[in-house]
Amino acid sequence: KNQVEQSPQSLIILEGKNCTLQCNYTVSPFSNLRWYKQDTGRGPVSLTIMTFSENTKSNGRYTATLDADTKQSSLHITASQLSDSASYICVVSASEYGNKLVFGAGTILRVKS
């Protein structure tokens, strides 16, 4: 069964600290892996999209890694800010058409001052 598992479920860190969120998947075939940020009461916003051949991608303070062999990805947030408080969702696509996306349940991050 195609699944995306994220850990931890939730995380609290101090402003300015770094953190790493994990994503393990069993989706096959594999087209691409995405990380989204979802603020409370809003729709998800894309942070990074990686295909099979990419093993790291950055977007400002966000850096995603992908190990397609072990089917693992991580999202590293550097120098966290209060505005980073959100749910971070890992999504794996089994198709380039976007109709076979498997969403993880998300990691809820809270950054406190």
Residues near other proteins (CB under 8 A) are: 4, 31-32, 34, 41-46, 49, 89, 91, 93, 96-99, 101-106
Kindly state the DSSP code that residue 82 receives in the 8-state scheme. Answer: G
Burial class (CB in 10 A: 0-12, 13-18, 19+), 104: buried
Q: Is the peptide bond before 29 cis (omega within 30 degrees of 0)?
A: yes
Nearest-approach distance from CB 69 to other proteins, in angstroms: 21
Cβ closest to other proteins, residue 78 vs residue 103: 103
Of 89 and 111, nearer to other proteins (C-beta) is: 89
Nearest distance in Å: CB 100, other proteins? 8
**At which residue do the structure tokens 């999504």 appear?**
91
